[in-house]
Chains A and B, each alone.
Chain A
């Protein structure tokens, strides 16, 4: 158990819909990363938040957005869903203490999104 939790575990929805994926990082971890795993693209970085602020963006579609809340949990919002958005979405958190960052990320179990 990595200490990172994600809900829901599975999500089935229809094209055009909007969903929200939730991630709770390990206790005290300020950085949250979102990754998408698909057959076409493999595992790719989507977006990073650090202590409530967006830090970096990867190959994230404009239809997707994320935020990190004061309690440090994060949500990934996917809208106008297309068949190609079906994938496994991972959240990861990264420890930092005393201003120093660990370069190790700990992954949650993922949310499997199926768009029909």
Chain B
């Protein structure tokens, strides 16, 4: 079945530690890939996106993500986590690339807790 999988429901890290959030997708063709962040009581903010080209993409707030076609993955990383990074992170895809449709399909999210 077509899907976006975030295998970790909840991750806890200490402030200053590195972070990797996993995302795998299962679609026939490589979709457009996105990471969004949702802070408590807030909407969804785009962190970064991958359409094509360089497989390592840089985003806002010091985040980066690497697209690996062979693993159908798009993992999000940050070398040093700050307490303000505590939030829920969503991986999402657009499978109707470049069309007038372009609806997003989301993973179930990973809740990040940061210990001081």
Contacts and interface: CB of A to CB of B under 8 A. Distances in A.
Interface of A: 2, 4, 31, 33, 35, 42-45, 48, 50, 55-56, 58, 90, 92, 94, 101, 103-110
Nearest to A30: B100
A contact face: mostly helix, strand, loop, or mixed: strand
Interface in B67-113: 90, 92, 94, 97-109
A31 B94 CA distance: 15
Interface residues of B, number: 26
B106 A43 contact: yes
A114 B105 CA distance: 24
A101 B43 contact: no
Of all A-B residue pairs in the complex, the 3 with the closest CB atoms, nearest first, are A43-B106, A107-B44, A109-B43
B108 A31 contact: no
Contacts of A108: 43
B55 interface: no
Nearest to B97: A103
B98 A58 contact: no
Contacts of A103: 32, 49, 51, 94, 97-98, 102
A105 B104 contact: yes
Contacts of B36: 107
Contacts of A44: 106
Given A42-B109, A103-B32, A31 B102 contact: yes
B46 interface: yes
Given A33-B103, A105-B102, A43 B43 contact: no
